[in-house]
Amino acid sequence: MRKLALPVAFAAVAAATAVLVPAVSAAPAAPEELNWGPCPDTGIPTPDLECTTVQVPLDYADPDGRKIDLAISRLPSKNPDKRRGVLLTNPGGPGGAGLNYPQLLTNPAFPAPLPQGVREQYDVIGIDPRGVGHSDPVTCDLTPEQLAIGNLPYANGPADVVRQAEVAKAEARQCADSATGSMLPHMTTANTARDMDRVRAALGESKVSYLGASYGTYLGAVYTTMFPQRSDRFVLDSNLGPGGYDIEAMRGFGRGMQDRFPDFAKFAAAHPEHGLGTTPAEVTAKYHELADRLDRNPVAGYDGSIFRGMTFTLLYNDDLGTLAQGWRALDHGEDPKLPGGVPTATDNVMAARFAVVCGESDWPRSVQSYQRDVAVDRKRYPLIGAAAANISACAYWSKPAAEPQVRITDRGPSNVLMVQNERDPGTPLAGARELRSALGDRARMVTADQGGHGVYVFGANQCANNAVNDFLVTGARPEQDSSCAAESR
């Protein structure tokens, strides 16, 4: 989902060997009696949605034990006579709330909002995943000071890693000691996939279609691996690698920004009125100079670390003019006055992210290992690599997942369409290619010659959007992987 909140970043050693996890508990065959009604406050108006809750086991190995609530929403089909089924959605994360996502997908302000043909065929379903938002939420009791550090704390040297280690240690302890600490081992992607299958059953559907973005691509891949015969048409947009948010994805933020930043450098150089340089090289030099200056003398709450994170976040979008204006303001010692001010994540978002990312992978315990990673990635990915490789709460995590990760395989029907921007800062093309390889003949991938995070609805490439629309409406996919050329705006 596109919002001004810094994407979470952690550094880790290689993820634990993933195995194929069976569905521990089959979903009930009969639909539930769901009491649909108005939706709770999600931060945006949701006039077209109706909401309800579904109960699921906290621990699927103990299906008769403690239950938790999932908040779900429904954007009903615009033409019940043409209705094909349900389209489950996930906007990303982990930690991203999805209750209002069906409404967001129809927003006419986006380049290619959900078209009538898709809305006629599906009830579009939103879900706040377990532990998130209006579902029973997890917490780490993070302080405003901890949240204000941001999700990408840049390390200028070994001493910064040592300082961040103390923050990370406190965060991990707070998560473990919180009132929801017992939930953390069960905040797995596999359990979230099982929750999706419970929602499917509660809706009375034998199969579901799916639209997932960012982390939602990994969640979708896990679901269709665990429940291949219950999967109809699956769209994975802006793809993680087959290991989910493991070390490859975390440190991949550095690579993603290196891929994407040249688009902004060319834009700013072509608009000298912003005063950021007249060549891409000058704009790149301005980035480093401004970050160093803000480290010495922050402006309106923006130090060099927050400035780097702000730049990374706004590179998710095609609104490069807003980013240029923000740079210009900071360059002149002024508040950039971005929507929402200095972006921070909420306690619930961070707690849910920590639970999934820290719990599902093994993490190095030694501060020195992170210092080495930071030194390597500062040179390899100089724009933000030293932030993506920095230490996090995962180094001190004491609540490992109750089960191993799911190994994504090519076993199952050929019913997955992947769409991917060539220059995606959050989920680089390299990771998408790895997921494509893991899915084998189950998938086809359409790659768009554009930058930013998000292809379908949020991106302006008509060729790529049409590929998704055709698949959701007719089931037709390209016979082989294909590319969409850049399109002028």
Q: Which residues are catalytic?
A: 214, 424, 453
Q: Tell me 131's DSSP state.
A: B
Half-sphere exposure of 157 (CA within 13 A, CB side): 3
Q: Tell me 149's DSSP state.
A: T
Do residues 36 and 50 make contact, with C-beta atoms less than 8 angstroms apart?
yes
Do residues 127 and 98 make contact, with C-beta atoms less than 8 angstroms apart?
yes
Do residues 284 and 338 make contact, with C-beta atoms less than 8 angstroms apart?
no
Do residues 425 and 411 make contact, with C-beta atoms less than 8 angstroms apart?
no
Q: Tell me 53's DSSP state.
A: E
Do residues 24 and 191 make contact, with C-beta atoms less than 8 angstroms apart?
no
Which pair of tokens denotes residue 320? 């490069």
- Indicate the length of the chain as a whole number: 489
Task: Please provide the distance, in angstroms rounded to a whole number, between the alpha carbons at the two ends of the chain.
Answer: 22
Q: Which residues of 156-182 are buried (b: 16+ CB within 10 A; e: fewer)?
A: eeeebbeebbebbebbbebbbebebbe
Do residues 220 and 90 make contact, with C-beta atoms less than 8 angstroms apart?
yes
